[in-house]
Amino acid sequence: MSDNSGRRLSFIVCYVIFIIGNIGLALQTNYVALLILRMVQAVGCTAAIALTYAVVADLATSAERGKYMGYAGAGILMGPAFGPTIGGLLAQYLGWRSVFWFLAIFSGVLLVLFIFLFPETCRKVVGNGSIPPTGVNRSVISCMQQRKLAKQTPSGEDMEQTKPEKRKIPFPNPLATFRIIAEKESGIILLYNGFFFTGMMTTVSAIPVLFHEAYELNELHIGLCYIANGMGSLISSLTMGHVVDWNFRRHAKAMGMIINKGKQQDLSNFPIERVRLQIVVPGHILGIFGLLMFGWTVKFQTHIAGPEVALFVIGLGVSTAFNITNGLLIDLHRDQPAAATAAVNFVRCLMSAAGSAAIIPMCHAMNPGWAFTFLALVYVVLIGVIFWVMRDGMRWRQEFEEKKRIKREEQERTEET
């Protein structure tokens, strides 16, 4: 929807859904309502994540997208870094319902600020910024600026020349997301991304049970334990984006490609898969060691600093791999960044839900050490996927583009006849 009708409308819808979900959660009194409203809440927040990365794709070219993806990821990861601590404080002193009232009020304030300040960025709506937005695509600030400009213009002729065509808001089509999942290269990357992210989600979802059993922590102390993982993710997001951009420039220089700031590069013969995934490998290895360390330190109930260091390493490694593969998928689908990120969310959320449901029974059946060793072994197998895509990814992409070109030409010939 946002790839055609603009980011602002989709963001506003997400905010409204999220606020309604939180108000309902604060008022509900039974488990079924809790489950349904948590789904409603998830619709609002996960879609907003996809839109955030789509805005980055609107504003940044492939050569400079790494650091901006990192900045966006850092903002998103502030929630896992500090949310459990804030939630623990609220639940400890004001009750669990206060968590959802806090979220509803906080997101309501953000919605007001968004309506006033956030400009439209979708290229299909405003182009490179030269096309003035209309209707809901205008922020309040943008509307005031346009009125001021209209008063200063002596004739309405200039305004008529820049007046955009009226656009119909298309009905949301989920098929674009499923088409991306069905593509060979994108599907493989999505599965890798989903499996790898699931490792971190199983870890953080196991913290309340494992830390309560091993260290007898209360809600507040358990919330504080999430900071290590969040800070690892935060540091990864703020630093690895610059490394990704450096690697892009390095390969571009070696191939004689000229990078013009603000101008999108032609990636048809550029090994973007190799450029991105070379930086994933160190993060992948960190993730393996982090899982092993977490499982066995909890198993032997070492000082709590042990699993906390492991959580930091997991956050650092997994976030590196996750953010970079997100960026790679947007590189592969530059005309549909929101749909590409929605595909990421769809796959990772399904896989993470399954992993989170399975991890505690696994820990009780085989102890935390062997449960997380099993996950680490899955990561060891997954590293082969990275080298597979680095080797064959560009060929797959070129073959897919050639098929699309042939299909497009056949359609044009059919229309002519």
Residues 6 or more apart whose CB falls under 8 angstroms from that of 64 comprise: 245, 261
Determine the average pLDDT of the residues in 207-230: 89
- Give the H or E element holding residue 79: helix 65-94
Q: Which two tokens stand for residue 103?
A: 């979220």
Positive/negative CA dihedral, 96, 345, 56, 248: positive
pLDDT value at position 153?
65
Render the burial of 351-376: b for 16+ CB within 10 Å, e for the rest.
bbeebbeebbebbeeebbbebbbebb
pTM: 0.85
**pLDDT: is 166 or 91 the higher one?**
91
Residues 6 or more apart whose CB falls under 8 angstroms from that of 251 comprise: 270, 271, 274, 275
pLDDT value at position 289?
97
Tell me the pLDDT tens digit for each residue of 251-260. 999 988 888 7
pLDDT value at position 280?
95
Whether 199 contacts 311, CB under 8 Å: no
- Other CB atoms within 10 Å distance of the CB of residue 398: 12
Q: Which two tokens stand for residue 222?
A: 């358990």
- Confidence class of residue 12 from pLDDT cuts 50, 70 and 90? very high
Determine the average pLDDT of the residues in 3-24: 89
pLDDT value at position 220?
81
pLDDT value at position 391?
94
CA distance 37 to 18: 10
| Mean predicted lDDT score pLDDT of the chain | 87
- Confidence class of residue 1 from pLDDT cuts 50, 70 and 90? low
Phi-psi region of 256 (alpha: psi -120 to 50; beta: other; left: phi over 0): left
Q: Which CATH superfamily is domain 2-118+179-410 in?
A: MFS general substrate transporter like domains (1.20.1250.20)
pLDDT value at position 349?
87
Determine the average pLDDT of the residues in 195-208: 91
For the chain, the C-alpha Rg in angstroms (whole number) is 23
pLDDT value at position 387?
95
Query: Domain residue spans in the chain?
Result: 2-118+179-410
**pLDDT: is 327 or 123 the higher one?**
327
- Polymer length of the chain: 417
Largest CA distance in the chain: 79
Determine the average pLDDT of the residues in 237-256: 90
Positive/negative CA dihedral, 246, 248, 249, 251: positive
Q: Which two tokens stand for residue 159?
A: 């305004």
- Confidence class of residue 159 from pLDDT cuts 50, 70 and 90? very low
pLDDT value at position 190?
95
Determine the average pLDDT of the residues in 331-341: 86
- Confidence class of residue 160 from pLDDT cuts 50, 70 and 90? very low
Determine the average pLDDT of the residues in 327-353: 88
Alpha-carbon distances, residue 216 vs 94, 209, 210 (angstroms): 21, 9, 9
For residue 163, pLDDT over 60 is answered with no
CA dihedral angle for residue 323, residue 329, residue 334, residue 336, rounded to 10 degrees: -100
DSSP 183: S
Determine the average pLDDT of the residues in 213-220: 87
**pLDDT: is 172 or 252 the higher one?**
252
CA distance 391 to 193: 18
- Confidence class of residue 171 from pLDDT cuts 50, 70 and 90? low
For residue 158, pLDDT over 60 is answered with no
**pLDDT: is 163 or 4 the higher one?**
4
Residues 6 or more apart whose CB falls under 8 angstroms from that of 173 comprise: 1
For residue 248, pLDDT over 70 is answered with yes
Query: For residue 36, with 0-12 CB atoms within 10 Å meaning exposed, 13-18 middle and 19 or more buried, which class applies?
Result: middle
**Which stretch of 36-40, 279-283, 335-339, 396-400 has the lowest confidence by average pLDDT?**
335-339
DSSP 135: G
Determine the average pLDDT of the residues in 339-366: 91
User: At CA 275, angle to CA 400 and CA 66, rounded to 5?
Assistant: 105
Number of alpha carbons in the 13 Å side-chain half-sphere of residue 4: 12
**Which stretch of 61-65, 153-157, 225-229, 283-287 has the lowest confidence by average pLDDT?**
153-157
**pLDDT: is 265 or 19 the higher one?**
19
Collect contacts of 246-249 with beta carbons under 8 A, ≥24 apart: 247/275, 247/276, 247/278, 247/279, 248/62, 248/63, 248/66, 248/275, 249/63
**pLDDT: is 367 or 83 the higher one?**
367
